[in-house]
């Protein structure tokens, strides 16, 4: 379980906090959607959980251990994060992007890593992209390739920041189905402003308003609160 305990984050001293005393639990058995308007603190929350930002105060716990106390390699193996900007390396093929971390960080044999990467791409229906470069594929394909790259380390949790931002409606539906199929392998925390997507993929939700938790619980109750203007 991931637990966020009384988390506050300020980008600049003296400014209003981007997160203000946020406490949330993310049980492993749920796909959780974090909803909220732009500027509500959703992405800041993901970055604090993912150790890309140091909280001003408060703690993030992974199975009762403060994430700041976990060795870097162990932490990155247990928790992956895919940002809205995908950060695929443009000079590498999709296959090379996917095998970089297993080979460099986990000392896996390159052939073994490539076989695993091709199997992952086939499973996701994008096996034909292996030898293409990021500039040669669509936004939706790049989104799936970026998540596939993160899954190569077999993390317990995967954090996704606005994963449907580059997708059209039809591709979003396919993407939601794909994530539901992956939930047996990895537990997802998804930041999104797309309520229809959240309803299609998540079981539980959290609503952030101006850096505070406005509501939490079943996805249906969160969506009702969000549509009523919190």
Cα–Cα distance measured from residue 107 to residue 229, given in angstroms and rounded to the nearest whole number: 50
CATH code of the domain containing 23: 3.40.50.300
pLDDT of residue 86: 65
Whether the CB-CB separation of 84 and 162 falls below 8 Å is answered with yes
Where in the sequence is the domain holding 213, given as residue range(s)?
2-227
The CB density around residue 168, as the number of other CB atoms within 10 Å, is: 11
Alpha-carbon distances, residue 74 vs 22, 37, 67, 154 (angstroms):
25, 33, 10, 12
Q: What is the pLDDT along the chain (230 residues), one digit of tens a residue?
A: 899 999 999 998 778 899 999 999 998 777 899 999 888 999 999 999 999 999 999 999 999 999 999 998 889 888 988 887 667 889 999 999 999 888 887 788 899 999 999 988 887 778 999 999 989 988 778 878 888 888 887 788 989 998 877 677 777 787 788 788 877 778 889 998 888 888 888 989 999 999 999 999 888 888 888 777 65
Say how many C-beta atoms besides its own lie within 10 A of residue 122's C-beta.
12
**Rg (the chain; Cα; Å):** 18
Structural domain count of the chain: 1
């Amino acid at each position: 379980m991931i637990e966020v305990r009384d988390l506050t984050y300020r980008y600049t001293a003296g400014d209003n906090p981007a997160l203000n005393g946020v406490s949330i639990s993310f049980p492993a058995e749920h796909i959780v959607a974090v909803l909220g308007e732009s500027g509500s603190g959703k992405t800041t929350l993901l970055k604090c959980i993912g150790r890309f930002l140091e909280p001003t105060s408060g703690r993030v716990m992974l199975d009762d251990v403060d994430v700041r106390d976990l060795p870097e390699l162990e932490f990155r193996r247990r928790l992956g994060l895919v940002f809205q900007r995908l950060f695929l390396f443009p000079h590498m093929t999709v296959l090379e992007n996917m095998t970089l971390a297993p080979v460099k960080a986990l000392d896996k044999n390159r052939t073994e890593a490539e076989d695993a990467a091709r199997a992952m791409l086939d499973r996701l229906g994008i096996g034909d992209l292996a030898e293409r470069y990021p500039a040669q594929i669509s936004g939706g394909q790049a989104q799936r390739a970026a998540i596939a790259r993160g899954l190569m380390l077999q993390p317990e949790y995967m954090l996704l920041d606005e994963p449907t931002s580059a997708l059209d409606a039809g591709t979003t539906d396919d993407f939601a189905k794909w994530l539901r199929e992956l939930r047996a392998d990895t537990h997802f925390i998804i930041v999104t402003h797309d309520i229809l997507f959240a309803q299609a993929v998540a079981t539980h939700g959290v609503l952030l308003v101006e850096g505070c938790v406005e509501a939490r619980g079943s996805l249906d109750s969160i969506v009702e609160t969000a549509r009523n203007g919190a």
